[in-house]
A and B are shown apart, each in its own frame.
Chain A
């Protein structure tokens, strides 16, 4: 199954996030990731939801979301026609000290990620990239041992020029 990104514009009111998450829970849809934030319009917030459903079920998710009175619009953002970005912070251990650090730096350079904090025993890394790229970075960093990981959930925006 493929992950679909839904960009949901909602009225900026108390309880809206609860309505959306309650809908997903009661209808049995699984949320992979979710992020909420303000938009250019103070009265409107954007909820970006990554869901792992297909075809008919995806249509149901959209139709049921659309019934929520506070939901103004729902746009599905396909990977090809949108910018999709997430932020990760990951802390890895340096079991072999300096030599590990060199290998880590090589990986970071390849992915364009950077170090936000370094000690003798660990490095904390930040990356802002597409979900696919952050996943590849995490796969490569796994060899060093991931001590702690936090991910923002994807945010997305349609491209101004459609391919």
Chain B
């Protein structure tokens, strides 16, 4: 039965119907009518300190829970502050809905106070977006927005609502169905493509499972484990897929790409078949595309048909939900293997050689200072395996991917596609809200931390006890690494002078958190343990680390994966290997 209410009440009622339990936001003039019914709603609203924090928190929540994350802001600057997290979510296929207020419809186009064409601005960085100027259109837009964000290849959807639409009175009616004539469901794979994929796998003697973030999005980790064990092939997990397959599993050979393991990068290069599962042949994985996996045929399973052949030709495209694809591939493959199963012994001998000769490692600094890799490695060892880690972007992100063993999906949250510095703290906040009983560590750099640390205030006030491991090398470390390697050690504008300015421990205390500092290797374990013992407040640990540490291995941007370096001017000794 239709119930009369304001557009604002209809908006909040619609969000409740869509299953929203929490949203992150900041009120302002144009969205103000919607904040009045929020006051009465069962939806938890978390008042952040900057809209960018709201957006990344929504993403962190979505990544940790698999549900759609929600953020809300006012028109103009409120909305434009959401642009970065919206682009970030869209690039990493994270289901997220952003609600923004807009100036009254009569004022749209007049350069009114706090007017910005956020629908136009976000058109290229959303899966879809809406501008709503009539109250009657609100429930349909919200129903569609959540459906579009969550289904198919997930993504970001923005709903911009004019203030007069929020104030207008209307009869509320939740739509019975989602009428989107141009929105196609590609989740069911075509059975012939499954057969073709199985046939190709049954012929391959050097296969690799190239696993991307899509497997986590599709909740396909169980099917992946079964498929990997059936094929018996090496598994590589991309930066977005860390945790989709247990790192400790004998078939896992590491992360591919620019800072991947020698075994992962090289097995892709030498493979005769890539079994690509929810991955998109990103340049950070392929290196110079024309030299990537030159002898491999490609099976490409993805729910987005536009990804097939976008960067690399697919010999067997399988458009569909990757979990369904793997589930259907299992019996098809068993039937093929019943006829004949290739012997991968020789292939594994090679892969094992790369794996044992070139494990990811690091040198301890010889001046007695703290190794950033050691700090991160110890954090991973001491923490519970359920712990959720978020990271910013840069050296600390790569080390966090390399030196923590991820055993479960949704335990590693980072900004892979857009590479958004400042992601870690707000994403950790969102993850902790979504998984309140799980420990959440933000592994952050001092550069990233200074972009979004204000959300620690939000955490302190709203009882969201995240922990931050600040890998403080007093610089924009990854940029500095490139300056070391490619710009003759001319450190232009990468020195942050942040050993004591700001004093991160004091800053943490000022924001209502516990601030700790660690400067010596012998203090690492006990400092981590001290941080882990605090569960009623956010904690920030300022780890003062060796600033010249570098991320290795490395495939320099634009070069071939064949030119992977394991240290400065040091390539693997291929001649000693049987290749």
Contact = CB atoms under 8 A, between A and B. Distances in A.
A22 B182 contact: no
A64 interface: yes
B180 A18 contact: no
A72 B181 contact: yes
Nearest to A19: B123
Contacts of B19: none
A4 B305 CA distance: 21
Size class of the B contact interface (CB-based, 8 Å): 20 to 34
A11 B182 contact: yes
B562 to A, nearest CB: 25
Interface string B113-146: 0000001100110011001000000000000000
Among B180, B181, B309, find the residue whose CB has the most chain A CB atoms closer than 10 A.
B181
Interface in A52-78: 56, 59-60, 63-64, 66-73
B123 A69 contact: no
A80 interface: no
B306 A60 contact: yes
Contacts of A28: none
Given A18-B123, A26-B124, A67-B306, A72 B182 contact: yes
B262 interface: no
Most buried by B among A10, A11, A19: A19
B146 to A, nearest CB: 13
B183 interface: yes
B182 A69 contact: yes
Given A14-B131, A69-B148, A71-B182, A64 B123 contact: no
Contacts of A56: 309, 313
Interface in A7-54: 10-11, 14-15, 18-19, 22-23, 26
A66 B124 contact: no
Contacts of A15: 119-120, 123, 131
Contacts of A70: 128, 182
A30 B119 CA distance: 23
A63 B556 CA distance: 31
B52 to A, nearest CB: 22
A66 B183 contact: no
Nearest to A26: B124
A13 B72 CA distance: 25
19 contacts: A10-B182, A11-B181, A11-B182, A15-B119, A15-B123, A22-B123, A22-B124, A56-B313, A60-B306, A66-B305, A66-B306, A67-B304, A67-B306, A69-B148, A69-B180, A69-B182, A69-B183, A71-B182, A73-B182
